[in-house]
Amino acid sequence: MNIRCTFCNTPINLNREIVHAALDEMHDEGHNHYNLHCPRCRKTNKVSQKQIKRWAPTWKPGEKAEEKK
Ligand SMILES: [Zn+2]
């Protein structure tokens, strides 16, 4: 999963763990977007829950990864 920073156009790669952690966080905090920090310009990109869910169609609330560190 790749997303492009809206500020500096840097592609940011999101792996499955990040996507699931983002969905868990949104679910826990009741947000409908995820604040993704760009590694290059450090600005915050708001990614909608809808968009992230498309990358993790199997994610369900409360199903946290056991290997969470
Ligand atoms: Zn950026």
pLDDT digits (tens, 9 = 90+) for 5-21: 999 999 999 999 999 99
* d(CA 17, ligand 1 centre) in Å: 21
* 63: confidence class by pLDDT, cuts 50, 70, 90: low
CA dist 43 and 51 (Å) reads: 19
Which tokens sit at 56? 């993790």
User: Which DSSP symbol is given to 43?
Assistant: P
* d(CA 47, ligand 1 centre) in Å: 13
Q: Is it the case that residue 69 has pLDDT exceeding 60?
A: no
Residue with tokens 């990358």: 55
* d(CA 3, ligand 1 centre) in Å: 11
**Are the C-beta atoms of 4 and 13 separated by less than 8 Å?**
no
The CA distances from residue 54 to 5, 20, 51, 64, in Å, are 18, 11, 5, 18
* d(CA 33, ligand 1 centre) in Å: 17
